[in-house]
């Protein structure tokens, strides 16, 4: 379906726009027990969305205002373990992590949701978030 919002950003889309699409959800959208399934589809990360690739295996949504998330790139965060562009938030954030159930190539994609409040690690370029590091869970 060519009219899909999944086509609005091409491969040359700014990484900050991709970051917002994939990780920003504030206030948290109410999809009941199907939060992850609905959000992953809405945000174009399932194999039902163009270009019909595999389901994204893990994705975290941050439930905070854009300016609060962006502040991690400045005074709201500190460099993560000496990294040049990874920063850890000073304060914990409300997040929902969606993890694939089973094989990422199966159709339709099915996800398990895990809600938490924790510090997050993001990549920043020119003062704006461009990457959410799924692999780093900061101990409380």
What's residue 138's pLDDT? 76
Distance CA 53, CA 109 (A): 11
The predicted-structure confidence for 35-81, as pLDDT tens digits, reads as follows 999 999 888 887 665 556 678 889 999 999 999 999 999 999 999 99
The answer, yes or no, to whether residue 125 has pLDDT greater than 60, is: yes
Rounded CA gap, 14 and 62, in Å?
A: 19
The domains of the chain are located at 5-132
The pLDDT assigned to 104 comes to 64
Q: From CA 134, how far away is CA 113, in angstroms rounded?
A: 14
pTM above 0.75, yes or no: yes
CA angle 72, 97, 68 (to 5 degrees): 20
Q: Which residues participate in catalysis according to the annotation?
A: 23, 131
What pLDDT, on a 0 to 100 scale, did the predictor assign at position 50?
A: 56
Instruction: For residue 56, give the DSSP letter.
Output: P
3-state SS class at 135: coil
pLDDT at 5 over 80: no
Which of 3.40.50.450, 3.10.130.10, 3.30.413.10, 3.30.470.20 is the CATH number of 5-132? 3.10.130.10
Residue whose tokens read 């990294």: 83
Q: How many CB atoms lie within 10 A of CB 72?
A: 24
SS3 label, residue 42:
helix
């Amino acid at each position: 379906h060519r009219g899909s919002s999944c086509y609005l950003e091409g491969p040359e889309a700014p990484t900050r726009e991709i970051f917002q699409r994939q990780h920003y959800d504030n206030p948290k959208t109410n999809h009941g027990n199907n939060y992850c399934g609905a959000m992953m589809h809405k945000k174009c990360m399932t194999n039902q969305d163009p270009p019909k690739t595999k389901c994204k295996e893990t994705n975290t949504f941050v439930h905070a205002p854009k300016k609060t998330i962006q502040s991690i790139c400045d005074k709201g965060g500190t460099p993560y373990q000496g990294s040049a562009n990874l920063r850890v938030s000073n304060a914990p954030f409300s997040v929902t992590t969606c993890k694939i159930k089973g094989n990422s190539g199966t159709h339709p994609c099915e996800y398990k949701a895990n809600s938490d409040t924790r510090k997050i690690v993001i990549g920043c370029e020119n003062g704006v978030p461009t990457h959410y590091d799924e692999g780093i869970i900061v101990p409380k």
